[in-house]
Chain A
């Protein structure tokens, strides 16, 4: 009866399963004083220690004084000879090593246990000892560690070896002295000791390439007993092969291949895994590894089947032909009782299979989609996405499948993977656009994830107006305005405005809808509605394109600035703008603040990836519409802002104006030469500053007064040098050379400079670094630096190129036709043009659709001095490639320079 009653109470509590629940820190620490009592009660003390450990592992914060007190009380327990209690003490020492002070108090007690006769103590004592030892104390226990490593007891030896690995992090040079002991341990009969010893040896020699390869070749010759050690060797060998890159003839590869015939399955799998994951393996090398995995596929052990199919799935895209050989075995695995194996098998088949089998496989996979976890569902989604890219014609089936998955239950990551895939498919495949948008519209009708909803709304705003019937999206978007939270409403308002700006017939309706949001409860929504409404009412194409369609940077951080929306048109660097405004307010002048003096933002990397099928700018934007502004990380200083600051600190460059662009660094020497020099070009309005980063790699020389003499082509004029005063061994120094751009002929901006490094050499003692008094002049010839058109142009992304094209107008238009004889394909042509111009491809025009014979490339940029430049290049492929290029700019010189540069 009593028991029953208690059971019921337990159920109500729901917690009673865990006896340590609701532990109070203070009461436990109070209890810990029991440790001071004599005689010691081991059972009781064990229990208290367990409680302390539980508290620490629950993340309870124990202050240093409390921890120290408890720790010292615990040290008294060393007088008990109870084995269980002592081992509990070791555990607690390890946990409290960082919490308490003076933990080294137990050093001698632990050394005693570690060298003692009780085997139960020894291994654990070593681990605890190494945990409390810092690099200064290590000397005193070094002797014991060396003995322990070669101890006959495997557990002691293993413990010492693993502890050495941990110690390596803090005091690597002491551990390095144990190499002889570790080598001895490596020939141990015990598989664990051998494994750990090989690990320690590898870590000791990690930084020394030759040492590592010697180590590997030594162990590959003498056969090891331990399969774990073999696996480790395979990994080390793979790493060496990667760095080496001299083909597959090396003995390392032979070693990995022989491991395929090892008797342990562990080693066989490791070897096969290593081979299939190597870059650039040939079919012949791959075949044995794949056949091993194929064998595993039909193994009775589920772990082996799983490992094999997972590996095959990973490399299916890389080596489809090789994996296709296993198709028959994979087909059998589809019906495997283990759902994880089945999922991986199907997705692998999807990746390698032919177009005809897609329907059948999709049907099969849908039968058990509900039974697998989110993690595997994401694997399926990714497989479908890559399938869509492979067979664009199948998009109907696949998109329907994705849409039905969207409707099912699932976590955020899962839904995001689906939405990502759908958006990716829409972007890659224009035929799928309408169906995809329809699916997404349906999804946002019932979407609980704000981030996804805002992202989709942004996509609708961008893509929707350009579809044949834009009006059908308005309903979905307006529903969001009525039903959703503030962040989604704001995104929906922006999307609506884009429809209004793009489609004139929808304008009146959009104006009506927007005016309803004027009384919204949320500031952001109201602000956006008011702003867009006013812009739309102007019915001005240029305004629309500047402020609505090209609404590219976020308006989050603009709130602080009155000139907020100007930012949207001009992609200025926010840090730069802040600096410029600050200096403007500090020194009031008569002239107005000039936006063009603000350095332009370098395109975020994500945007450049936009063509890769991911969505860079859109994704970011979608995420940022949420009220929790991500502004701080967006405003982080770019590389260029850092250079700008460095240059501003040099007095010679005060009068040059704002920094326009900094190029990537170019090496002017081979990397192994005496002096290593690289050059960065900084473009200003009328000047170019060359920054030379020089490194002296000779330890017996000090260079002084280092300059770079530049021999320019005609028109350029070298104005000044800023020498690096002293260049000691190994410390990089910077010297600048300032060059004025040709004034009389503003269109000749391209040139080649030959450079010579001039300096005063002083010999010095390599050890002390003391230099001789006397030096002598010397010089060193560097490679040439070229100034190209791309140094004068900054990339700018215009999301709506056509609108910007009209906005710039025909005033300064240049047109010309060229035949490109050197390139054979449209892709190469596009890539060459983009590289040459250094401009930003817009509208995803840098991706050439397959099997088309004509393509139009849109490029946008800003020319030195702040003039917009737009380029439209029509390419046609017949025998060679014919290119008709049209340049528009707000400045005549800019247009001329760019069209001239093409020839």
Chain B
């Protein structure tokens, strides 16, 4: 880490911009996670189901993230693909307490991976096994088994258990994404 880089960061000038798309089933906690990642003063107090998408920005370490927070409701999922093209990372949020719909999430993930815009790219995918505080929630390992994540060979991926309300586990994931993107640049 050179001196100029440090100086630039200190001056708040040159943070690298990264485009991230955040997807997952409805009510899995996407908007809550993004909201929690934002600086304290920009956070919203109440979260309502997203219709369509919203664009949010937050900074982490040396990167400035622009997140397209997509709506997870069934009728809007087919609109995700419009935003795959320029995404440099994907955050896939899973409700780890919802065993019943895990297959639906798996199905959506497969569709995502088979999309033309994703297939060709070596794009990092971060999975949040969200709602870890819930009684009946599964562990990150269990979730990754159920989702069949081992099958993903050509892309770097990482899963971490999280609690979006308290913010627990979120930073770990963001750090992983930051590392991945930086290593890719090299």
- Residue on B nearest A81 in the bound complex, by CB: B57
Is the Cβ of B54 less than 8 Å from the Cβ of A108?
A: yes
A37 to B66, CA, bound (A): 13
CB-CB < 8 A to B52: which residues of A? 75, 104-109
A38-B17, A38-B19, A102-B79 given; A108·B51 CB < 8 A: yes
Decide yes or no whether A47 CB sits under 8 A from chain B.
no
B21 to chain A, nearest CB (A): 11
From the candidates B50, B53, B57, name the one contacting A75 in the complex (CB within 8 A).
Answer: B53
A75 to B79, CA, bound (A): 12
Decide yes or no whether A79 CB sits under 8 A from chain B.
yes
A72 to B68, CA, bound (A): 13
A102 to B77, CA, bound (A): 11
- Residue on B nearest A132 in the bound complex, by CB: B52
CB-CB < 8 A to B76: which residues of A? 104-105
Is the Cβ of B79 less than 8 Å from the Cβ of A105?
A: yes
Is the Cβ of A108 less than 8 Å from the Cβ of B66?
A: no
Is the Cβ of B53 less than 8 Å from the Cβ of A109?
A: yes
CB-CB < 8 A to A105: which residues of B? 52-53, 76, 79, 82
Is the Cβ of A38 less than 8 Å from the Cβ of B53?
A: no
CB-CB < 8 A to B85: which residues of A? 36
A279 to chain B, nearest CB (A): 51
- Residues of B in contact (CB 8 Å), total 20
Decide yes or no whether B86 CB sits under 8 A from chain A.
yes
CB-CB < 8 A to A36: which residues of B? 85-86
CB-CB < 8 A to A38: which residues of B? 17, 19, 66, 86
B137 to chain A, nearest CB (A): 27
Decide yes or no whether A112 CB sits under 8 A from chain B.
yes
Is the Cβ of A72 less than 8 Å from the Cβ of B19?
A: no
CB-CB < 8 A to A107: which residues of B? 51-52
Instruction: Mark out the residues of chain B between 37 and 88 whose CB falls within 8 Å of any chain A CB in the assembled complex.
Output: 48-55, 57, 66, 68, 71, 76, 79, 82-83, 85-86
Is the Cβ of B55 less than 8 Å from the Cβ of A137?
A: no
CB-CB < 8 A to B51: which residues of A? 104, 107-108, 111, 137, 140
Interface-centre pick from B50, B51, B66, B86 (highest chain A CB count, 10 A): B51
- Residue on A nearest B51 in the bound complex, by CB: A107
- Residue on B nearest A144 in the bound complex, by CB: B48
CB-CB < 8 A to B66: which residues of A? 38, 79
Which interface class (under 10, 10 to 19, 20 to 34, 35 or more) fits A?
20 to 34
A680 to chain B, nearest CB (A): 52
A41 to chain B, nearest CB (A): 13
A38-B19, A102-B79, A108-B71 given; A78·B86 CB < 8 A: no
- Residue on B nearest A143 in the bound complex, by CB: B48
- Residue on A nearest B85 in the bound complex, by CB: A36
A71 to chain B, nearest CB (A): 9
CB-CB < 8 A to B71: which residues of A? 108
- Residue on A nearest B52 in the bound complex, by CB: A105
CB-CB < 8 A to A104: which residues of B? 51-52, 76
Is the Cβ of B82 less than 8 Å from the Cβ of A72?
A: yes
Decide yes or no whether A76 CB sits under 8 A from chain B.
yes
- Residue on B nearest A80 in the bound complex, by CB: B55
CB-CB < 8 A to B86: which residues of A? 36-38, 76
A442 to B85, CA, bound (A): 75
A36-B86, A76-B86, A102-B79 given; A109·B19 CB < 8 A: no
Is the Cβ of A78 less than 8 Å from the Cβ of B55?
A: yes
A72 to B83, CA, bound (A): 8
A497 to B48, CA, bound (A): 83
A105 to B83, CA, bound (A): 12
Instruction: Mark out the residues of chain A between 105 and 158 whose CB falls within 8 Å of any chain B CB in the assembled complex.
Output: 105-109, 111-112, 137, 140
- Residue on B nearest A71 in the bound complex, by CB: B82
A21 to B39, CA, bound (A): 47
A 743-754 to B, binary, CB cutoff 8 A, 1 in contact else 0: 000000000000
Decide yes or no whether A651 CB sits under 8 A from chain B.
no
- Residue on A nearest B78 in the bound complex, by CB: A102
Instruction: Mark out the residues of chain A between 65 and 83 whose CB falls within 8 Å of any chain B CB in the assembled complex.
Output: 72, 75-76, 78-79
Decide yes or no whether A39 CB sits under 8 A from chain B.
yes
CB-CB < 8 A to A72: which residues of B? 79, 82
Is the Cβ of B53 less than 8 Å from the Cβ of A108?
A: yes
Is the Cβ of A112 less than 8 Å from the Cβ of B54?
A: yes
A604 to B121, CA, bound (A): 75
CB-CB < 8 A to A75: which residues of B? 52-53, 82
A78 to B82, CA, bound (A): 14
A404 to B55, CA, bound (A): 71
Is the Cβ of B19 less than 8 Å from the Cβ of A108?
A: no
- Residue on B nearest A103 in the bound complex, by CB: B52
A585 to B85, CA, bound (A): 70
- Residue on A nearest B67 in the bound complex, by CB: A79
A140 to B73, CA, bound (A): 14
A137 to B17, CA, bound (A): 34
- Residue on B nearest A78 in the bound complex, by CB: B55
Is the Cβ of B55 less than 8 Å from the Cβ of A79?
A: yes
Is the Cβ of A39 less than 8 Å from the Cβ of B53?
A: no
CB-CB < 8 A to A109: which residues of B? 52-55
A 43-87 to B, binary, CB cutoff 8 A, 1 in contact else 0: 000000000000000000000000000001001101100000000
A406 to B55, CA, bound (A): 67
A786 to chain B, nearest CB (A): 64
A859 to chain B, nearest CB (A): 70
- Residue on B nearest A68 in the bound complex, by CB: B82
A79 to B57, CA, bound (A): 8
CB-CB < 8 A to B53: which residues of A? 75, 105-106, 108-109
A259 to B85, CA, bound (A): 63
A 151-191 to B, binary, CB cutoff 8 A, 1 in contact else 0: 00000000000000000000000000000000000000000
A593 to chain B, nearest CB (A): 64
A111 to B85, CA, bound (A): 25
A447 to chain B, nearest CB (A): 62
A307 to chain B, nearest CB (A): 48
CB-CB < 8 A to B17: which residues of A? 38-39
Instruction: Mark out the residues of chain B between 14 and 39 whose CB falls within 8 Å of any chain A CB in the assembled complex.
Output: 17, 19
A234 to chain B, nearest CB (A): 42
CB-CB < 8 A to B82: which residues of A? 72, 75, 105
- Residue on A nearest B69 in the bound complex, by CB: A108
A38 to B76, CA, bound (A): 24
A75 to B51, CA, bound (A): 13
CB-CB < 8 A to B55: which residues of A? 78-79, 109
A137 to B73, CA, bound (A): 13
A 813-829 to B, binary, CB cutoff 8 A, 1 in contact else 0: 00000000000000000
Instruction: Mark out the residues of chain A between 401 and 448 whose CB falls within 8 Å of any chain B CB in the assembled complex.
Output: none
CB-CB < 8 A to B50: which residues of A? 108
A309 to B4, CA, bound (A): 77
A748 to B17, CA, bound (A): 100
A105 to B66, CA, bound (A): 18
B63 to chain A, nearest CB (A): 13
A472 to B86, CA, bound (A): 86
A37 to B19, CA, bound (A): 11
- Residue on B nearest A115 in the bound complex, by CB: B44
CB-CB < 8 A to A106: which residues of B? 52-53
- Residue on A nearest B18 in the bound complex, by CB: A38
A38 to B57, CA, bound (A): 14
A133 to chain B, nearest CB (A): 10
A673 to chain B, nearest CB (A): 51
Instruction: Mark out the residues of chain B between 77 and 108 whose CB falls within 8 Å of any chain A CB in the assembled complex.
Output: 79, 82-83, 85-86
CB-CB < 8 A to B19: which residues of A? 38, 79
- Residue on B nearest A77 in the bound complex, by CB: B55
Interface-centre pick from A37, A75, A108 (highest chain B CB count, 10 A): A108
12 residue pairs A–B, Cβ–Cβ below 8 Å: A36-B85, A38-B19, A75-B52, A78-B55, A79-B57, A79-B68, A105-B52, A107-B52, A108-B52, A108-B54, A109-B53, A112-B54
5 nearest A-B residue pairs (beta carbon) = A105-B52, A107-B51, A72-B82, A78-B55, A108-B50
A79-B19, A108-B51, A109-B55 given; 18 more Cβ-contact pairs under 8 Å:
A37-B86, A38-B17, A38-B66, A39-B17, A72-B82, A76-B83, A79-B55, A79-B57, A79-B66, A102-B79, A106-B53, A107-B52, A108-B53, A108-B54, A108-B71, A109-B53, A111-B51, A137-B51
